[in-house]
Structure 1
Amino acid sequence: MAISDKPVFDRPSADPSEQEEGTRLRPRFDADGLVTAAVTDHASGELLMVAHMNDQALEATLSTGVAHYWSRSRNRLWKKGETSGALQNVREVRVDCDQDAVWLKVAVAKPEDTCHTGRTTCFYRVVADDGRNLTVRDRTGHPAAS
């Protein structure tokens, strides 16, 4: 399947039972043309990142087996790991009940570079309440570096 400017996905169905129980992939892209993508490690189940996909990113992911996203900050298609080498090889793709979000289970070529900060996950901080303020701490409970 070649990546093109022509939409390749069926439009969402107005019939909720068809959208939620049917066998056709009918992504429900939002007003900006995006669906949310939750990404986990296929072996450990750890949440690695959350990103967004437009129709081209979803098509590229499904046709190549390597995760592609839509970069909202760069306003362009983004092949995850293209420059860092931390390519995400897709092992499974799931869609939620109304098809407005996808879940990618991936194997990362260089797990230590999953996050642009050089960590294995983008979710390396925990929100804590010290009784006066909400703070952000590392996963061991120590205050995060400022």
Structure 2
Amino acid sequence: MTGSERPAARAAEVPSPLDPALAARLKRNADGLVPAIAQQYDTGEVLMLGWMDDEALHRTLTTGRCTYWSRSRQEYWVKGDTSGHVQHVKSVALDCDADTILVKVDQVGAACHTGDRTCFDSGQLPLEQ
């Protein structure tokens, strides 16, 4: 399998690399993906949202670096490989429904591709009360 072939697209051919109990718990969308929230481990700051399939989650759990599936490029990407803005994994958890992954990381540099610290730095919406 090359770096850009998706296991989810070949589910019948490629077994999940995850522990079977974990793979059975995950609730994936129609594309075989689960949203993954990256949060700074020591401050609680929400950094970004990415997408993981079984292979990306497996790589994240086994390498200590966040690996995501790029929906636009249709390939895996390891946060920081091109930018140097690495996410060192501290812990990984599933929410109560097993349809969202929370990855607590030690973020080096900006988390957002725009160069902002987080992907939520410029999107403050006004509250109507």
Equivalent in the alignment of 1:7:
16
Q: Give, in angstroms, the shift of residue 39 of structure 1.
A: 0.8
Match of 1:119 among 110, 116, 120: 116
Equivalent in the alignment of 2:10:
none
Whether the 8 Å CA contact 1:95–1:103 is kept in 2: the answer is yes
Higher relative contact order (CA 8 A, sep 6+): 2
SS of 1:56's partner is helix
Equivalent in the alignment of 1:18:
none
Cα distance change, pair 116–59 in 1 and its aligned pair in 2 (3 A): same
Instruction: List gaps (5 residues or longer) in structure 2.
Output: 8-13
Structure number with larger C-alpha Rg: 1
Instruction: List gaps (5 residues or longer) in structure 1.
Output: 12-23, 131-146
Aligned length: 115
Equivalent in the alignment of 1:43:
42
After TM superposition, the structure 1 = structure 2 runs for residues 80-91 of structure 1, keeping only pairs within 5 Å, are: 80-91=79-90
After TM superposition, the structure 1 = structure 2 runs for residues 1-146 of structure 1, keeping only pairs within 5 Å, are: 5-9=14-18, 24-25=21-22, 26-109=25-108, 111=109, 113-125=110-122, 126-128=124-126
Q: Residue 38 of structure 1 aligns to which amino acid in structure 2?
A: I
User: Runs ≥4 in structure 1, deviation > 6 angstroms?
Assistant: none
Whether the 8 Å CA contact 2:34–2:51 is kept in 1: the answer is yes
Aligned-residue identity in percent: 43
